[in-house]
Homo-oligomer: A and B are copies of this chain.
Amino acid sequence: MKRVEIGLLGFGTVGQGVFELLERQREILIKRTGLDLRVKRILVRDLNKKRPLPKELFTTNFEEILNDPEISVICELIGGLEPARTYLLRAIESGKQVVTANKAVLAEAGEEIFRLAKEKGVYLGFEASVGGGIPVIKTLKEALVGNRIESILGIINGTTNYILTRMLESNLSFERALEEAKERGYAEADPSLDLKGFDSAHKLAILASLAFGSYVSSEKIYVEGIDEIDLMDLKFSRDFGYIVKLVASARRTKRGIELMVFPALIPENHILTSVRLNYNAVYIKGDFVGDILLYGLGAGKEPTASAVVSDLVSAGEYLIHKRAPLLSYPQSTSHQLKILPISESLFRYYFRFTAVDRPGVLSKISGILGKYDISIASVVQIGRQIRKGAVPIVMLTHETQEKKVVDALNEIDKLDVVRAKTKRLRILT
């Protein structure tokens, strides 16, 4: 049995979860791995906060943890960019193994963190940074090591998935569903990072870096959230046989890599539409493995602790064998990857026009679409007025290019018969 001393940075929900797991499962872990994982010190901001643990365990001074020669693994659970970034870099620099659950720091400063870890030959575990307890990092790095990854399609934000599910299934407005998510602890007080899609983009940057073997910054990702989603569009989509989900998509195409986060219409018989409420899932296509789906709770104290501890075990293994990581990190340059601008992407589209209920309107709209080579697959004009004198016209198109759609809708929205900005969603096929 080998004892491994751990320094925890942060003692919020996840930190407490990790501590509890290590205590409660000590025997199982020793039996399974031969490792006795011990939390030796915990970095907190406030020493005087009441905690049911001995005071000596806590410190407000990072140096005490960094300079403790017995501590060989540093586990960062603070979140956010700073001071997490500095702590991680200094821990790696000093040769300690590191584990982090922090997607933001990897999406924003991943390049230097990955590079330094490689240079120093230390283990860098980040399973909990994407998808909570779902083993998506391990699967991409290890299980699919023999595959060229063709695409990743993820529902990797529990807040937005909860809201979209509740809206559609219980006929709730966006505001009501958001309120409910907050009450249940599935949305933060300021949920904008989640709602606007940036949390998904952070996670997608990490997944894409692994999938394409080259560091991807989240700034390169096209991001559209669900903060302007309307219940009406979820229902019309369902009538056409689609469920709307906020997806994070990374796709290898002949012309380059597509990286985007957006609310998408997914065909009802796709397994991703079964991912409801606060569950997450990642759908991966590899050239040998075919389609794989990994599904589970994408956040929360216990699932996240489960992922962190699997990394702590790996860190312990690296320590024992004094080895450099064999499975390489993404390389530190993104130059090789040609990332396509969204304007070049091809999609089928869902449009909802808000137009006056008068002869000739549909002909005007479809005339403009025709001018931009956008071909209509189906159209439904709904009798019910949604605003004074205006009715919704819902249309699905055949595949077309994003930039044509932008131009066409600009022109359509200027028509005097059109009474509101046209709603546009992309369809996954």
Residues in chain A within 8 A of chain B (CB atoms) = 17, 21-22, 25, 28-29, 31-35, 127, 133-135, 138-139, 142-148, 213, 269, 271, 273-276, 281, 286-297, 300, 302-303, 305-307, 309-310, 313-314, 316-317, 320-321, 323, 326-328
**Cβ of B313 and Cβ of A146 under 8 Å apart?**
yes
**Cβ of B290 and Cβ of A142 under 8 Å apart?**
no
CB distance from A298 to the nearest CB of B (A): 10
**Cβ of B133 and Cβ of A292 under 8 Å apart?**
yes
**Cβ of A213 and Cβ of B148 under 8 Å apart?**
no
User: Lowest 5 A-B CB distances belong to which pairs?
Assistant: A135-B143, A146-B309, A133-B289, A293-B295, A289-B306
What is the CA–CA distance of A326 and B35 in the complex, to the nearest angstrom?
9
CB distance from A26 to the nearest CB of B (A): 10
What is the CA–CA distance of A25 and B35 in the complex, to the nearest angstrom?
35
Q: How many copies does the complex hold?
A: 2
Cross-chain contact of A142 among B29, B287, B310 (Cβ < 8 A): B310
Report which residue of A21, A142, A146, A302 has the largest number of chain B beta carbons within 10 angstroms of its beta carbon: A146
What is the CA–CA distance of A31 and B148 in the complex, to the nearest angstrom?
12
Given A25-B147, A143-B307, output 19 extra A-B contacts at Cβ < 8 Å: A21-B146, A25-B146, A25-B148, A25-B288, A32-B213, A32-B328, A34-B328, A133-B286, A133-B290, A135-B143, A142-B310, A146-B309, A146-B313, A147-B306, A271-B275, A287-B302, A288-B303, A288-B305, A293-B296
**Cβ of A288 and Cβ of B302 under 8 Å apart?**
yes
CB distance from A311 to the nearest CB of B (A): 10
For A269, the chain B residues whose CB sits under 8 A away are 276
